[in-house]
Amino acid sequence: MKKIPLTMANGKPVDDNQNSLTAGSRGPVLMQDVYLQEKLAHFDREEIPERIVHAKGAGAHGTFTVTNDITQYTKAAIFSEVGKQTRTFTRFSTVGGERGSADTARDPRGFATKFYTEEGNWDLVGNNTPIFFIRDPLKFPDFIHTQKRLPDSNLKSHNMMWDFWSKSPESLHQITTLFSNRGTPDGYRHMNGYSSHTYSFINAYNERFWVKFHLKTLQGIKNLSADEATRLAGVNPDYATEDLFVAIEKGHFPQWKMYVQIMPELEANEYAINPFDVTKVWPHGDYPLIEVGILELNKNPTNYFSEVEQAAFSPSNKVPGIGLSPDKMLQGRLFSYPDTQRYRLGVNYNFLPINRPDVEVNNGYRNGAMRFDDNGGNSPNYEPSHYNVPTESPELHEPPLHIDGDADRYAYDSDANSDFVQAGNLYRLLSENEQKDLVANIVGSLQYAEPMIQELQIAHFKKADLAYGTAIEEGIKNA
């Protein structure tokens, strides 16, 4: 078979399509990775006008109230004192479906909250799972393509999904979560939310801590069986949207308790698990949950389009005391998310009421489509200047992130076998009935993949847990 070289848009052959260019194996993604930028930028513009991912969603306004002092870890004003309350807007969504798709589809759920803090907007952009399918942003467009439709029939393809997953064994942990009953939550009120990515806290002494965020539902976890999810998709494809809206309308305000896991900065270098690998969790025995506060949703939107559809979230929206990490997927999303919104809503999307911060915005940005304020008037839009113009605040400078390594396309330095460990642990954590449902759900999809793909994927399941893989193997034989 003749090799078909993968190229960039200008025809240049691509040397590595699996790993982003980073500063050392655990360093951040480099701006000079022009292939990553081109791939993500093109991906962001593939569809108009709906979101390329997370297109179907529901949202509500609310509040976040601090219940525990964590100022030893972060100087962020939102957490400055117990009892402090901050205005919020939260959007839930399915990931792969279109705007008209069913709320009960087997799919991860987006869980994004915008906190309108006194230091600007902070967006906590996560999912209802603590992990993800892949860990390098270079693979993100390819992964999402497998969740979309075939170019000839316009139908979705089980074979396409499993082909990608079988060649990306790091996806096994998320697959195990997705095909369990956790993959079909009973509405948005009865599921947890997670940052998934590792972020950082900076405290008043300019010390850095790595952090993961958890939002635990106080309504209790409830999931749907595969049969019930399918039934509801036909009876009421807007089941989760309606459930959230009606609950708030009746005064049954849903709540989530926020927790964090904290890792001192230098421990990341010695920890057995790569703490920036988004396909892995941090065991709670090593880094226990620390309570932070309560998120409550208590006000429905008055106009879905202006509030839910035009809400724009990005992990690049952060405030002093909350920082980033060398998590490669996070680094890729820092570019892709706001770039998508500039394309979808326009370069001035942050001036829309739902996205506009509660604090005054001062910058040199001018013009652009849909500019509807005074456009900066006649004030200078440059600095330095002899005049009274907005200037930097050097006291907010974060401590340096120590990087040591040559710039190259590195695979994650996790042990290859570690891709199977946590998936196996999760399988063994499930009850016998939950294990049966998981296997049945996987068989119901994997049976439509080609035999060579089935064989490789079953081998992955067996590496995670022999009984897990064997049950799927037997299920496909009898399907």
Cα 38 to Cα 34: distance, rounded to the nearest angstrom? 6
Helix (H) or strand (E) holding 94: strand 85-94
> Is residue 54 annotated as a catalytic residue, yes or no?
yes
Catalytic-role residue among 19, 61, 121, 127: 127
Half-sphere exposure for 435 (CA within 13 Å, toward CB) = 18
Work out the number of other CB atoms within 10 angstroms of the CB of residue 269: 9
Closest to 78 in 3D by CA, of 114, 113, 116? 116
Residue that is written with structure tokens 């479906």 in the block: 97
Tokens of 256: 């989530």
Which residues, at least 6 apart from 70, have a Cβ–Cβ distance to it below 8 Å? 79, 201, 260, 290, 292
Q: What is the DSSP letter of 293?
A: E
**Which tokens sit at 332?**
């890729």
Q: Please state, in angstroms and rounded to a whole number, the distance separating the CA atoms of residues 328 and 412.
A: 9
Nearest to 257 by CA among 213, 197, 202: 213
Q: Is 127 marked active-site?
A: yes
Are the beta carbons of 200 and 190 closer than 8 angstroms? no
CB 23 within 8 A of CB 403: yes
Q: Give me the catalytic one of 54, 61, 173, 214.
A: 54
Tell me how far apart the alpha carbons of residues 229 and 224 are, in angstroms, rounded to a whole number.
Answer: 6
Residue with tokens 């200078």: 380
Ramachandran class of 241: left when φ > 0, alpha when ψ lies in -120 to 50, beta otherwise: alpha
DSSP string, 340-373: HHHHHT-TTGGGSTTT--SS---------TT--S
Query: What are the catalytic residues?
Result: 54, 127
